[in-house]
Amino acid sequence: MSSLTEFHLLSVLAQEMNMRKAAERLFVSQPALSQRLVNIEKEWGSKLFLRSQKGLSLTPAGELVIQFVNDVLAKEEKVRESITALNSEVHGTLKIAVASIVGQNWLPQVLKKFVSRYPQAKISLITGWSSEILKSLYDDQVHIGIIRGTPDWKGIKIPLFKDSLYLVDTEITRPEQVLETDRPFIQFKSDSNYYQEIQDWWLRQFKTSPKRTIVVDQIETCKQMTFNGIGYAILPAITLNGAEKNIFKIPLLDENNLPIKRDTWLLGYESAFQLKQVQAFVELIKEHIEGERH
């Protein structure tokens, strides 16, 4: 039976599909890698990769073997995490999926503290929309997710913070001025209930649609276009650090005249919260939030 080292070798080959690149990643010579692959293929009794000038391609047998190899390596990582959790020090990889807006504007400060306090721990971070983060959790690709909005989640969910929404512009100082301006309303795409929340507020406030809109796919693009006077936008406080010059920020109010706020939640399965690196991260987040309040 192939060893875990050989499984790792096959996994790298399948990722790179190129002998030279795989050899560089594995710190071996190309001839040595080629010979090891020949031996592994003999052991499996079948060709796993086809070689050509363009690189490598998987045979049908290779596809089956690589799927098996990746399953074994994923299980190996889980076992290693469990063993690490038995030790007192925080080791292992902390796998996080986080809403892009939080990953850009809030999380870096937390991660800086984490890597400083736990130098033995590693971090794997992916960002995306809330639906993508939930999928990563369901598929067991990450330990914890941080999402915006109210989650439909059956596992552990911890409220992190709320931030207010603002109408932001270089010219507008009162909400009703949006009905007078010819400049566009700049919106960013979102798969959460954020977009609907803004639509509801707008209709309640103005009883009509915006005259002109520009839709962008990133909140940072939306922010920069607004700051450069192209149009106005509705942005959450998390994207506004207070250092903006010549920018007016008008808080959005609900029907009871209270500020409209966005929730941010930390989610995960109970099994993930038994890992020391996850426990350490959650404790550090709580410390960080407490520090922000004072």
Residue 243: predicted pLDDT: 65
Quick one: pLDDT at residue 69? 94
pLDDT at 288 over 60: yes
Q: pLDDT tier at 85 (50, 70, 90 boundaries)?
A: low
Q: Please, are residues 251 and 259 in contact by the beta-carbon 8 Å criterion?
A: yes
How far apart CA 62 and CA 127 sit, in angstroms, is 31
Across 26-48, average pLDDT: 93
How many other CB atoms are found less than 10 A from the CB of residue 237? 19
Positive/negative CA dihedral, 8, 13, 19, 23 = negative
Tell me if the pTM is above 0.85.
no
Pick from 121, 122, 156, 116: nearest CA to 287: 116
Which of 107, 140, 93 has its CA nearest to residue 269?
140
- Judge whether 109 and 101 are in contact, CB under 8 Å: no
Domains within the chain, CATH numbers bracketed:
4-86 (1.10.10.10), 93-154+268-293 (3.40.190.10), 162-262 (3.40.190.290)
- 94, 124 contact by CB (below 8 A): yes
State the Cα–Cα distance between residues 264 and 268, nearest whole angstrom: 14
pLDDT tens digits along 94-132: 999 999 889 988 999 999 999 999 888 889 999 988 888
pLDDT in tens, 227-249: 999 999 999 999 887 767 789 99
Confidence of residue 169 (pLDDT cuts 50, 70, 90): very high
Residue 171 identity: E
Angle between helices 4-16 and 19-26 (to 10 degrees): 140
Whole-number Å distance between alpha carbons of 50 and 33: 15
Q: What angle do CA 147, 151, 155 make, to 5 degrees?
A: 100
How much is the pLDDT for 86?
Answer: 64
Rounded-to-integer distance, Cα 183 and Cα 48, Å: 60
pLDDT at residue 58, as a whole number: 94
CA gap 55, 287 in Å, rounded: 50
- In this predicted structure, what is the pLDDT of residue 110? 93
Cα 6 to Cα 2: distance, rounded to the nearest angstrom = 6
pLDDT digits 0-9 by tens, 193-223: 777 788 888 888 888 888 899 999 888 899 9
pLDDT in tens, 125-165: 999 888 889 999 999 899 999 998 878 888 999 999 999 99
Q: Note the pLDDT of residue 81.
A: 76
pLDDT at 1 over 60: no
Given this model, what pLDDT does residue 40 score?
93
* Residue 269 Ramachandran class (φ > 0 left, ψ -120 to 50 alpha, else beta): beta
Closest to 145 (Cα-Cα) out of 162, 119, 168, 126 = 126
